[in-house]
Amino acid sequence: MSDRYLAFANSAAGRRLLRALGLPTPVRLERWAAGHARVLDGALLLAGDGDLLASVLGFAHRLSGERYAERPDRLGLPCWKLAEGPRLKALVFDASGLNRFEQLSALRACFQPALKGLGKCPRLVLLGRPPESLEDPQAASVQRALEGFSRSLGKEVRRGGCVQLLYVAAGAEPQLEGALRFFLSPKSAYVSGQVLRLAPCTAQVKDWTRPLAGKQALITGASRGIGAAIAETLARDGAEVVLLDVPAAEDALAALAARFGGRAVTLDIRSEDAPHRLVEALPDGIDILVHNAGITRDKTLAKMSEAQWDAVIEVNLQAPQRLTQALLHANKLREQARVVLIASISGIAGNPGQSNYATSKAGLIGLAQAWAPALGERGISINAVAPGFIETQMTAAMPLALREAGRRMNALGQGGLPQDVAEAVAWFAQPGSGAVSGQVLRVCGQSLLGA
Amino acid sequence: MSDRYLAFANSAAGRRLLRALGLPTPVRLERWAAGHARVLDGALLLAGDGDLLASVLGFAHRLSGERYAERPDRLGLPCWKLAEGPRLKALVFDASGLNRFEQLSALRACFQPALKGLGKCPRLVLLGRPPESLEDPQAASVQRALEGFSRSLGKEVRRGGCVQLLYVAAGAEPQLEGALRFFLSPKSAYVSGQVLRLAPCTAQVKDWTRPLAGKQALITGASRGIGAAIAETLARDGAEVVLLDVPAAEDALAALAARFGGRAVTLDIRSEDAPHRLVEALPDGIDILVHNAGITRDKTLAKMSEAQWDAVIEVNLQAPQRLTQALLHANKLREQARVVLIASISGIAGNPGQSNYATSKAGLIGLAQAWAPALGERGISINAVAPGFIETQMTAAMPLALREAGRRMNALGQGGLPQDVAEAVAWFAQPGSGAVSGQVLRVCGQSLLGA
């Protein structure tokens, strides 16, 4: 999990070089590290007059470790501040009570003064109700309008700040704590401009210091990069991890498995007997399944060989489907299991030179959407995480100019780290994250690219 | 409808300047002009082995004016070519029969050779089935994967080419002709990378040379720019147009109305009595309602005044809702009416300095989504058209560097014209376009920006 680019960019020589190139120095993002006792270090402001704020007030002191003081006079809105401090670390605005267009002005009224008092890497979250759940068209439109606001704010906030919008269905309020523990903490350092829906879910995390305790996790493509980071992060959160990769990666895999107290399984997921062998390798079944293994074979379509097309579809799309199907048939996915597919913003926006890769990644999003209803009946969730530009061996091999452009084309002005993807997966893997299913979470620093 | 930038860019001096700046000369897009007798001039290839191709073969000769010749041996796929010629003008690939991952290779097999033989401004359309309508998760994922492919292809095709993906529900096949008459013709010159769903619809165009004959249309903000182009285009297609704008625009409005044989109504849509006055002004009701009036008051949220916020929300979002509501209550929206809301890619991706505008435009998308089911019971459709960078007086006022960047950040490498937005509205206004409702069509040259 190297942070070398940012270390360089923030060094004296690096700053000089970036200045000469006319590029701003990216903010060094705060990330979760061992020893972090609190979800957030600093002042948290809660505002808005919807029904969701009461739920948040019920657990907010656990996030900041402070009692809250009511400040009902501020902005004319109900408003609480947790932990004193000159600058705000986080803001949760409950917009769920807004149902007339003129009430949207509360957004300006709340965020304008708040923007002036934000600290470094501030975390901003808007809460709303799913527009499709509202009968009144105006109320639905008001809630839908929040998307335009939050995505604009994400592009304005700077200082490494992130903005999300959570649509909370009636009955899903108990799952807000898990979601805010992710979105208000440095674990979501590289996640911004995202919109997610929370639905009711019966499972719940028991111990927030080890939210995955007692869970068995399988991660494919685990020998390096994002896969290794996922294995490490799931293990940190208490899961027993099974690391899977191709036979050629056996040594690296065994070393990682030993480090995380896990188990290594070598297997070519393209092989005919892979599903059978995987089922055999998991006698007790698993709670967490992360399909991370993926390859690129970039060429414009005009020059792409049949082998290049087929390899990418087989590894990235066909293998996850075959393996999941086999695990389901063999009853190896336990009740309340969490399945996470690693997609890509290429699968959302398309990408020149990656028609095979984008097809495979769009297909993974399709798998999450298609499987979610049936799996939901067993309490199993399935979601896709779509990374943007992540600093890995894969991206390090890109030509410099393309790499620098890729890094810069997002609201945070920098690439993400494998850890950022891993933290999103770890959140999706939690029991309470059954509240989210059939959805896509981008880990892209609010990349400008999209559809 | 000025095309001055492209005329300059394609002049000797313009080419020299662009070359000096390291910018490619954008392709001069073919656009629909009076006298166009055919939907497309050139060869049309139909390929694929799904159920939809039979429907297309039933009317394809009307699009190209030619009989087709079967070429069943090409690529091993059923394949027909209409009109001979050295280069392909258009390609329709029916992917609806693909339901296994390995069959996705047909995309490469078909498009790779086709790409080499494309003419200028080629029109490519993929047909599929709505993933959410399919029971088999693998089949749903295959259909969903087409999105990644079509969006990548749109970024690779060049030469002014456009690529769309149409998901056609069972029973919606009769509406393919109207859709392809738009997407295979120069009317969709600046529409690319789009994904739309067609549902069954009982209405149908009777005379393709005047598809809006006998229809009454109201266009707000009609005195200039995009609004004027919409009025002109709807009139061209046979509609009787009512042009609405503020009293200050009375002279321009009257001149335009006279030119299109329409009627001018001056009205401040923000005023208290606007709904009442509008109902009075439309004794016979209307078939087509286009909410085009919109304003910008750009400022970062930190500096935005209450007045700037409120004005944009009132004009762009509140007024369309109030006016539509009043027309519905007064029974002035006829059966099978078509409502079109002009949104913006700002409402999709968010935009720094436009939090008010993006909120209002996301809210319009929300209105289309929220209203579609109830209006559908009366055969009324409601959709949003989201323009990207369009060459208007509004964008001409932008600083040069920002303007040039805005123009370039899309797969076609140039800004669109008001006519491009107008053509999309005119298609949505057709009787058969009731097949589409609650959706968003971007007219943005496949802008790189998105969510």
Q: How confident is the model at residue A2 (pLDDT cuts 50, 70, 90)?
A: very low
Q: List chain B residues with CB under 8 Å of A352.
A: 152, 155-156
Q: How confident is the model at residue A183 (pLDDT cuts 50, 70, 90)?
A: very high
Q: Span B1-29, mean pLDDT?
A: 73
Q: List chain A residues with CB under 8 Å of B141.
A: 317, 321, 363-364, 366-367, 370
- Would you list the DSSP string of B55-82? HHHHHHHHHHSS-EEE-TTGGGS-EEEE
Q: Span B284-304, mean pLDDT?
A: 97
Q: List chain B residues with CB under 8 Å of A346.
A: 148, 152
B105, A306: Cβ pair inside 8 Å? yes
Q: Is pLDDT at B423 greater than 80 in this prediction?
A: yes
Separation CA B194–CA B154 (nearest Å): 9
Question: Which residue do the tokens 């060049």 mark?
Answer: B158
Do the beta carbons of residue B413 and residue B158 sit within 8 Å?
no
Reduce the DSSP state of residue A134 to 3 states and report it: coil
Q: Is pLDDT at B70 greater than 80 in this prediction?
A: no
Q: Output the pLDDT for position A3.
A: 64
Q: Output the pLDDT for position B76.
A: 63
- pLDDT, tens digit, for every residue of B74-123? 556 677 777 667 789 999 999 999 999 999 999 999 999 999 989 999 99
Q: Is pLDDT at B67 greater than 90 in this prediction?
A: no
Verify whether residue A167 is a known catalytic residue.
Answer: no
Q: Output the pLDDT for position A74.
A: 54
> Which amino acid does the sequence have at B112?
Q
Longest dimension (CA), chain B: 67
A137, B371: Cβ pair inside 8 Å? yes
A352, B151: Cβ pair inside 8 Å? no
- Would you list the DSSP string of B97-138? T--SGGGGHHHHHHHHHHHHTEEEEEEEEEEE--GGG-SSHH
Q: Output the pLDDT for position B396.
A: 87
B301, A108: Cβ pair inside 8 Å? yes
A153, B301: Cβ pair inside 8 Å? yes
- By Cβ distance, the residue of B105, B142, B193 closest to A350 is B193
Question: Which residue do the tokens 């903010």 mark?
Answer: A27
Residue B440 has phi, psi (to 5 degrees) of: -125, 130
Pair of tokens at residue A431: 């029991």
Instruction: Show Cβ contacts of residue B400 under 8 Å, excluding neighbours closer than 6 positions.
Output: none
A-B CB pairs within 8 A amount to: 266
Q: Side-chain half-sphere of A237: how many Cα atoms within 13 Å?
A: 27
- pLDDT, tens digit, for every residue of A17-72? 777 766 778 899 999 987 777 888 888 999 998 999 999 999 988 887 666 666 65
Q: How confident is the model at residue B400 (pLDDT cuts 50, 70, 90)?
A: confident
Q: How confident is the model at residue B207 (pLDDT cuts 50, 70, 90)?
A: very high
Structural domains for chain B: 31-198 (3.40.50.720), 216-443 (3.40.50.720)
B354, A112: Cβ pair inside 8 Å? no
Residue A53 has phi, psi (to 5 degrees) of: -65, -35
Question: What is the number of H-type helices and E-type strands within chain A?
Answer: 16, 14
Q: List chain A residues with CB under 8 Å of B134.
A: 370
Q: Output the pLDDT for position A14.
A: 74
Q: Output the pLDDT for position A42.
A: 85
> To probe the interface with B, which of A98, A144, A441 has the most B CB atoms within 10 Å?
A144
Q: Output the pLDDT for position B6.
A: 72
Q: How confident is the model at residue B2 (pLDDT cuts 50, 70, 90)?
A: very low
Give the residue among B266, B270, B273 at the shortest CA–CA distance from B318.
B270
Q: Output the pLDDT for position A90.
A: 94
Separation CA A257–CA A267 (nearest Å): 15
Q: List chain B residues with CB under 8 Å of A195.
A: 451
Give the residue among A196, A71, A301, A429 at the shortest CA–CA distance from B152.
A301
Q: Span B171-187, mean pLDDT?
A: 97
Q: Is pLDDT at B422 greater than 90 in this prediction?
A: yes
Percent share of chain A, pLDDT over 90: 80
A144, B369: Cβ pair inside 8 Å? yes
Question: Mean pLDDT, chain A, as a whole number?
Answer: 93
Do the beta carbons of residue A300 and residue B157 sit within 8 Å?
no
Q: Is pLDDT at B66 greater than 90 in this prediction?
A: no
Question: Which residue do the tokens 């965020």 mark?
Answer: A111
The larger pLDDT score, comparing residue B50 to residue A310, is at: A310
Beta bridge partners, B299, equal B354
Do the beta carbons of residue A109 and residue B356 sit within 8 Å?
no
**B162-168 and B88-94 beta bridge pairing:** unpaired
Q: Is pLDDT at A100 greater than 80 in this prediction?
A: yes
| Alpha-carbon dihedral B26, B27, B31, B37, rounded to 10 degrees | 180
**What is the ipTM metric for this complex?**
0.95
Q: Is pLDDT at A233 greater than 90 in this prediction?
A: yes
| Chain center to CA of A2 | 19
A138, B359: Cβ pair inside 8 Å? no
Alpha-carbon torsion A326, A328, A333, A338, what sign? positive
Q: Is pLDDT at A73 greater than 60 in this prediction?
A: no
> Which amino acid does the sequence have at A296?
T
Order of all β-strands in the sheet with A88-94: A68-70, A79-82, A43-48, A88-94, A118-128, A162-168, A194-198
Q: Output the pLDDT for position A395.
A: 84
The larger pLDDT score, comparing residue B13 to residue A121, is at: A121
Alpha-carbon torsion A359, A363, A365, A369, what sign? positive
The enclosing H or E element of B440 equals: strand B440-443
Question: Mean pLDDT, chain B, as a whole number?
Answer: 93
**A286-291 and A333-342 beta bridge pairing:** parallel
Neighbours of B159 (CB within 10 A): 13
- How many angstroms away from the CA of B185 is the closest CA of chain A? 23
- pLDDT, tens digit, for every residue of A378-433? 999 999 999 999 998 878 888 888 888 889 999 999 999 999 999 999 999 999 99
Buried b (16+ CB within 10 A) or exposed e, B226-241: bbbbbbbbbbbbebbb
- By Cβ distance, the residue of A137, A151, A364 closest to B451 is A151
Separation CA A179–CA A175 (nearest Å): 7
Q: Is pLDDT at B357 greater than 50 in this prediction?
A: yes
Question: What is the pTM assigned to this prediction?
Answer: 0.95
Q: Span A359-370, mean pLDDT?
A: 98
Q: Output the pLDDT for position A172.
A: 98
Give catalytic residue positions of B: 357
Q: Span A6-27, mean pLDDT?
A: 75
Residue in B closest to A351 by C-alpha:
B152
- How many angstroms away from the CA of A107 is the closest CA of chain B? 10
Which of A162-171, A370-379, A407-416, B62-71 bottoms out in mean pLDDT, i.e. has the lowest? B62-71
Q: Is pLDDT at A253 greater than 70 in this prediction?
A: yes
Give the Å distances, CA to CA, from A411 to A179, B389, B404.
22, 20, 20
Residue in B closest to A359 by C-alpha:
B148
